[in-house]
Amino acid sequence: KMLQAIGKGAFSVGYALYKTQLGKSMHDQTCAACANLPPHSSSIMVPLVAGYHVSILPILHDNYAYLIVDETSRTCLAVDPADAKAVARAIESENLTLSGILTTHTHWDHAGGNEELKRMFPNIHVYGSTTDSIPALTDAVADGEMFWFPAHTVVEDPKLIVEVWEAPCHTKGHVLFVINQKPPQTPEGGSEAPRPTPVAVFTGDTLFSGGTGKFFEGSAAEMAKNLERMATLPNDCKVFCGHEYTLNNY
């Protein structure tokens, strides 16, 4: 029990240090080292709905960042762009305009590129929870909030709605971003407007292929609740997770 207590105490100290600027410095070193390595996985484009796709960006040793792309306006949202330079190159290669960042949680390997991207693209919105300390946060979000992508100021008739689901456990302020397709028009005389259809979910470090994220700041009961909620999504809803852990988990 004493060894367990010592081990737990050492982890707590290390975890607290990781969340400081010391951890950010270590993250920046990792980004620089990985710039000289081949990507851990393939970078591909996954269709969402007509006129929209997700570009999968393998970064660092096993992380994924993502671009949600409106092919008409050439506008994109970046999800967990921890390596700012790698994500900026991907944005440039697709000839896109970055409009915002969706941050699932505060860990540097997910949020570590926010401040640099905000300097590169000063007008972008940075979405995340205030429960976590999200770098460069401009738009605090909470469970159930929704917003259009792209904004109506960019296109007249956007087709996607970004919805926020709180998922505390890996961190206290962890969120999921559910991407919904705009519902069809309510028939004249209809009693109830149809709900948007979930077409994708960005799970950060809550759900992986064959596993879940570690319970750094929460409990098994919280994680079970998160999984039960995700289980209500349609079977054809695409899942985009934060790490490539498939071989490790199986």
Per the annotation, the verdict on 243 as an active-site residue is yes
Per the annotation, the verdict on 105 as an active-site residue is yes
Catalytic residue (one of 27, 53, 170, 174): 170
Distance of CA 128 to the CA centre of its chain: 9
Per the annotation, the verdict on 109 as an active-site residue is yes
Residues 6+ apart with CB under 8 A from 154: 70, 73, 75, 99
C-alpha 27/C-alpha 179 separation (Å) is 29
Catalytic residue (one of 53, 105, 132, 174): 105
Catalytic residue (one of 27, 107, 132, 174): 107
Query: For residues 180 and 149, is the Cβ–Cβ distance under 8 A?
Result: no
Per the annotation, the verdict on 170 as an active-site residue is yes
Per the annotation, the verdict on 107 as an active-site residue is yes
Catalytic residue (one of 27, 53, 70, 110): 110
Catalytic residue (one of 27, 53, 174, 243): 243
Catalytic residue (one of 80, 83, 109, 132): 109
3-state secondary structure the chain: CHHHHHHHHHHHHHHHHHCCHHHHHHHHHHHHHHCCCCCCCCCCEEECCCCEEEEEEEECCCEEEEEEEECCCCEEEEECCCCHHHHHHHHHHCCCEEEEEECCCCCHHHHCCHHHHHHHCCCCEEEECCCCCCCCCCEECCCCCEEEECCCCCCCCCCEEEEEEECCCCCCCCEEEEEEECCCCCCCCCCCCCCCEEEEEEEECCEECCEECCCCCCCHHHHHHHHHHHCCCCCCCEEEECECCHHHHC
Per the annotation, the verdict on 125 as an active-site residue is no
- Active-site residues, by number, are 105, 107, 109-110, 170, 205, 243
